[in-house]
Structure 1
Amino acid sequence: MRQRIRPSHLRKSAALVAASAIVAAVPVAAASSAAAEEGEPSLVISSLPSASPKPGEVYDENVVITNNGTAAADGVTFRIRLTRGLDFPETVEGCTYSTVEDQVRQALCELDTVVEPGASVETPVRFGAQPHALMEAVEYGTSATGEAPGEGFDDSYRRLTLTADSSADLVAVGADTEALAGGRESVTVRLRNDGPGWIQNQESDDQTALMVRIPQDTVASEVPQECAPFGVDGPSGPGGTPGRSKYVCWPADHTIDVGESLSFTFMLDIDDDATTTTGEVKATSVYDIRPEFDKNPANDKARIRITIPTDDEAGPTPSGDSSTGGDGNDPVGQSTGGTGGMTGTGGTGSTGGTGDATGTGGAGGTGSTTGSVNGNLAGTGSDGTPLIAGAAAATAALGGGLVLAVRRRRAAAKSS
């Protein structure tokens, strides 16, 4: 059962709410003052209790560092890393703050204390939830000798995953275009996060995704690499496989920031005898399990409509996304969505306007990202993945430190 923050630990931060790090260590167990016998220290750290903080609340708990070794640890370097929905509410003397790969906040704190063999010290861990907090993780601790920890987790350096008491609104954006029978048509669909929380699954590989049903009388001849064929209950082949009727698309880094729109473009070959036809897009997960954090199902589905004019009708009009509701012949309807052309670091596209500017995407920003899918879901989200593993350089440095979560391949009722 998830343990919620005790009322005494809930504190409003004056600024952008967030988290602070370890400060001074307080001895909680006496130890001999005699010089330690020759040997090595072996520090272990207690686990933080889980919580589900609301945006604006501060988590404040203590951890105990115990020396199970045969020599004293003269000074302890304590590190905290926070995902982007958390931050430090204040700076503390003795701590150095920085931002590392993938917008991870870090505090490296020097505890001026000696931990004798058999003794323990206690130190606080404080962090708070920002307005866009949702799927978060905290790394905290030291090394067995008291020096700065490396990557990966053990008894002296631990990881806590938590879900903030918030939500994220996934929006499926379809397309409405005209084309000629026997021709080819490019169709771009989108998955947008309207917040307030950012999305990065920390607990399983059931990643947030967009389900795409290809319109009848058309064939997907070119498919994005980040879109895999969808089988009975999950992805059933490598990304980019053409010729299937249903696909599931998701970002390679499993991350969707607030306001970000992910674009997926398919090339469709239209049958010679095709008439006006429709498909569908749906905001869901890679196993088509509706995310619990999305509290607004009204905009989870949208239409792909391809109008095929007859000989006595006007010629085709330029293609584009539908930005109005569906018509009386289509029960799915179309989510409101704009078109755009902002490009920047992490991808292309934006919602809610038109233009062609250049910029840099980031947390809370608007943009569109692309990625790759190799069909190997064993390498997706993980409860044991270090916070900086999202960046390629950091992943190389971590080596074999990743611990994969058990895949949530379960049968579940599909959302209507």
Structure 2
Amino acid sequence: MRQRIRPSHLRNSAAFVAAAAIVGAVPAVAAPAAYAEEGEPSLVISSLPRTSPKPGEVYDESVVITNKGTATADGVTFRIRLTRGLDFPEPVEGCTYSTVADEVRQALCELDTVIEPGASIETPVRFKALPKALMEAVEYGTGPTGETPAEGFGDSYHRLTLTADSSADLVAVGDDTEALAGGKQSVTTQLRNAGPGWIQNQESDDQTALMVQIPPGTVATEVPKECAPFGIDGPSGPGGTPGKAKYVCWPADHTIEVGESLSFTFMLDIKDDAKTTTGEVKATSVYDIHPAFDKNPANDKAQIRIAIPTDNEPGPATSGGSSTGGSTDGGSTTGGDGNDPDGQSTGGTGSTGSTGATSAGTSTGTSTGGSTSGSIDGNLASTGSDGTPLIAGAAAAAAALGGVLVMAVRRRRAAAKSS
């Protein structure tokens, strides 16, 4: 007959490792557990306490597993999953380790124990924060009767978001180029993560982004699909929409690794009467709220400068006519048409463009017919303690831009005002 293993023995035999920091982490809220039908165990797990470890520190806490069913749980499969800024301190006997989708580290541990109805056991959860730890998440627990847990959360399987005591330095990179009035010119902007932490927001839909102000006197005719028009306080239309004065751009998977640069290239039509003009790029969030983890705002802004020679100055050999003097004062139109409902001018559509497919730390790419490899034709769904499973990626925060996004924008705006 199998003997019940003492908690002290479990602590040595069942180990789970994960690392990262916690800031505003909210454990999954489980509904009150009801007793299962007769003859079946029903396991309930306690929640991990919050913390905010520094990179290199080890998180060492325990959870309690209680059997609220009417039958004995004979053996328990306990699983822990960690985002990429966390890791297990050391291997533990009885645990199998692997890396699953989106670089999520997983430990699957077999607890050779018996939990009688009404009884509880305690088991440790240990993980360490890596040097690049910042916004992290941990999944932990078992199935309702002690089996391997399925995807999703409940009484026996929880999710905890963590924010490490660290930072990530966002850097905005603009462009400095030349063009002829009446011609066309591409400009490439970048959002770079100078570290030390990697970026993937696990706690909200306010994802890291790059704000792009189109230089006055020009019209954006080709726009990356990762770049949506920016309204009063958030995205206001589908990605790739031409002819707007301001855009907000972010990666489809909401992830920016340490040292990675995301590139967003726009094709601009230069007005016939345009003179040298300047736009701006800014490292921010999709709701234009400065990320709290960025402690160095000095490099958050950069310029897009387009030098346009006058009639008396030689210019670069680009297509288009010559400048005719005069200047513009923001906004842009094409073909002399009127403004759109947002009060921004409407431009034509182009045949080629550039988008951000990440490669070797730099996001570059091309598109044809106005389509690109990325997509932002969705709203940002909030993530949190009971959010998307890690193997689906924190990235799974994108759905359709529309009414839900408007509500989210208002929610974020209200939060910003109250903070």
Q: TM-score normalized by structure 2?
A: 0.74
2:357 to 336, 342, 347: 347
Partner of 1:200, secondary structure, is coil
Alpha-carbon offset, residue 38 of structure 1: 5.8
Q: Deviations over 1:256-278 (max 9, x none)?
A: 11001111010100000111000
1:353 aligned residue: none
Give the Cα separation in 2 of the matches to 1:18 and 1:47: 15
Task: Give 1:157's aligned residue.
Answer: 157
Corresponding residue for 1:170?
170
Deviations 1:42-72 (A, max 9, x none): 0000000011110010000000000000000
Does the CA contact (< 8 Å) of 1:174 and 1:280 recur in 2?
yes
Q: Which residue of 1 is the match for residue 340 of structure 2?
A: none
Structure 2: how far apart are the matches of 1:228 and 1:367?
20
Quick check: 1:368 aligned with 2:363?
yes
Q: Does 1:296 align with 2:291?
A: no
What is the letter of the counterpart of residue 90 of structure 2?
Answer: E
- Residue 43 of structure 1 contacts residue 67 of structure 1 at CA under 8 Å; is this kept in 2? yes
Counterpart amino acid of residue 389 in structure 1: A
5+ long unaligned stretches in structure 2: 1-16, 21-36, 319-355, 366-372, 398-406
Residue matched to 1:409: 412
**CA pair 208-241 structure 1, distance change in 2 beyond 3 A:** same
- For residue 255 of structure 1, give the secondary structure of its aligned residue in structure 2: coil
Distance 1:294 1:280, change over 3 A: same
Q: Which residue of 1 aligns with 2:267?
A: 267
Per-residue deviation at 1:201? Answer: 0.6
TM-score by length of 1: 0.75
**Matched residue, 1:377:** 379
Aligned to 1:183: 183
Which amino acid counterpart does residue 388 of structure 1 have in structure 2? Answer: I
Matches within 5 A, 1:14-413: 19=19, 39-316=39-316, 347-348=357-358, 361=360, 366-368=361-363, 372-379=374-381, 381-383=383-385, 384-390=387-393, 408-411=411-414, 412=416
Is contact 1:177–1:317 with CA below 8 Å preserved after alignment? no
Q: Decide whether the 8 Å contact of 1:205 with 1:382 is kept in 2.
A: no
Structure 1 residues 281, 53: closer, same or farther in 2, change over 3 A? same
**Cα offset, 1:298, TM superposition:** 0.4
Q: 1:190 to 1:180 in 2, by over 3 A?
A: same
1:88-118 Cα deviation digits (max 9, x unpaired): 0100000000000000000000000011111
* Secondary structure of the structure 1 residue equivalent to 2:294: coil
Q: 2: distance between equivalents of 1:178 and 1:98?
A: 51
The alpha-carbon distance between structure 1 residues 317 and 42, as it changes in their structure 2 partners (threshold 3 A), is: farther
Cα–Cα, structure 1 residues 406 and 64, in superposed 2: closer, same or farther, change >3 Å? farther
Amino acid at match of 1:410: R
Q: Quote how far apart the aligned CAs of 1:385 are.
A: 1.2
Q: Deviations over 1:139-169 (max 9, x none)?
A: 0000111000000000100000010000000
Q: Distance in 1 between matches of 2:220 and 2:362?
A: 25
State the distance in 2 between where 1:381 and 1:115 align: 33
Aligned residues: 329
Distance apart, 1:382 and its partner CA: 4.8
Q: RMSD of the alignment, in Å?
A: 2.4
Q: Once the 2 structures are TM-superposed, how far is the Cα of residue 409 of structure 1 from its aligned partner?
A: 2.0
Secondary structure in 2 matching 1:409: helix
Specify whether residues 210 and 410 from structure 1 end up closer, same or farther in structure 2 by C-alpha distance, changes over 3 A only. same
**What CA distance in whole angstroms lies between the structure 1 residues aligned with 2:129 and 2:273?**
56
Q: Distance in 2 between matches of 1:18 and 1:208?
A: 24
- The secondary structure found in structure 1 opposite 2:298 is helix
**Alignment-derived partner of residue 341 in structure 1:** none
Aligned residues of 2:263 and 2:362 also touching (Cα < 8 A): no
Q: How many angstroms does 1:180 deviate by?
A: 0.6
Shift in Å, 1:367? 2.7
Provide the identity percentage: 79
* Inter-CA distance 203–391: structure 2 relative to 1 (3 Å threshold): closer
- Partner amino acid for 2:44? V
Report the alpha carbon displacement of residue 381 of structure 1 after superposing the two structures with TM: 4.5
Alignment CA distance shift 1:291-1:113 (3 Å): same
Cα distance in 2 for partners of 1:212, 1:406 equals 21
Distance 1:64 1:317 in 2: 72
8 A Cα contact 2:264 2:364, kept in partner: no
Q: Do the aligned residues in 2 keep the contact of 1:101 with 1:391 (CA within 8 Å)?
A: no
Letter paired with 2:260: E
Output the CA distance in 1 between the equivalents of 2:70 and 2:364. 52
- Report if the CA contact (8 A) 1:132-1:198 is conserved: yes
Residue 368 of structure 1: CA displacement? Answer: 2.0
- C-alpha separation in 2, matches of 1:72 and 1:300: 58
Shift of 1:377: 1.7
SS in 1 for 2:232: coil
1:406/1:161 CA distance change after superposition, 3 Å: farther
Distance apart, 1:280 and its partner CA: 0.1
Secondary structure at 1:388's aligned position in 2?
A: helix
SS at match of 2:267: strand
State the Cα distance separating 1:191 from its structure 2 match: 0.3
Q: State the distance in 2 between where 1:134 and 1:242 align.
A: 35
Could you tell me how far 1:18 is from its partner in structure 2? Answer: 5.5
Give the match's secondary structure for 2:49: coil
